[in-house]
Amino acid sequence: MNNRRLILIVEDEDGISNFISAILGSNDYQTVRARTGREAISLAASRSPDLVLLDLGLPDMDGLAVLKALRAWSRVPVIVVSARGHEREKVEALDLGADDYVTKPFGTSELLARIRTALRHNLAAAAEEPGAGAGVLVIGDLTIDDERRRVSRAGAEVHLTPIEYRIVLLLARHAGKVLTHAFICKEIWGPYTNENQALRVNMANIRRKLEENPAEPCYIVTEIGVGYRMVDGAGSA
């Protein structure tokens, strides 16, 4: 009946809640609000939203606890809203299953971009057949051909080592979404290894090979203290 997506806003500050609602409403989303963690969990269960915006600084429960509860039975995309300076919280949330984050204070365009990305990935994941290759990914100038294992930028081929290729592919598959250091390490090198240093080194090499100006990367963006994000072809920050 109603084609609009439903977004659950979990935020105890009325002011912020108001303006997020306004933005989302004017961008063709439907919204429902929760002020406490418990309310959030019950609303998520009853209303089944398409995305949850979760503020980590809730009065009654730890935001992370809400996230854990949600993830126990739902794969609904969750974007956490955190305050600046609480990096560890963000990383923890991402590792616990959150899809992305925004930092207060955030610009509206940023928020909208993240929501779009999260929804898109979710749909893609739902529609994916298990075991299928990703085919060809195009992000801006960048083309990643998984079947032939080739990466090219503006037509020119870029030579990547196997590890570098896997990293680029991983980021591209989750384009627009932030991936934590821990996640990337686990995916590339396996669990129970700590290859942080190797990751940095690899990222530096990738930047030098892919980016026009490695000092101002436009494809792979660093999120200090959290991880890396490949920009969305649809233009996100």
Out of 1, 26, 72, 105, point to the residue binding another protein (CB under 8 A). Answer: 105
Out of 22, 45, 123, 237, point to the residue binding another protein (CB under 8 A). Answer: 237
- Residue 100 CA to residue 94 CA, distance in Å, equals 7
Choose one: 2-10, 35-43, 49-57, 84-92; the region binding another protein (CB under 8 A): 84-92
Residue 195 binds another protein (CB under 8 A): no
CB nearer to another protein: pick between 25 and 107: 107
SS3 content of the chain, % helix, strand, coil (to 5): 45, 25, 35
- Residue 91 CA to residue 167 CA, distance in Å, equals 19
Output the smallest distance, CB 213 to another protein, in A.
7
Containing H/E element for 156? strand 156-158
Residue 225 binds another protein (CB under 8 A): yes
CA distances from 37 to 12, 54, 81, 115, 206 (A): 9, 9, 14, 21, 41
CB nearer to another protein: pick between 41 and 178: 178
CA distances from 114 to 13, 78, 100, 109 (A): 21, 10, 7, 9
Out of 42, 47, 200, 212, point to the residue binding another protein (CB under 8 A). Answer: 200
∠ CA 62-68-71, nearest 5°, is: 145
Residue 88 binds another protein (CB under 8 A): no
Residue type, 5: R
Output the smallest distance, CB 103 to another protein, in A.
10
Contacts of 183 (CB under 8 A, 6+ apart): 94, 95, 227
Residue 3 binds another protein (CB under 8 A): no
CB nearer to another protein: pick between 87 and 145: 87
Choose one: 31-39, 57-65, 167-175, 207-215; the region binding another protein (CB under 8 A): 207-215
Q: Which residues bind another protein (CB under 8 A)?
A: 84-85, 87, 105, 107, 197, 200-201, 203-205, 207-208, 213-217, 221-225, 237
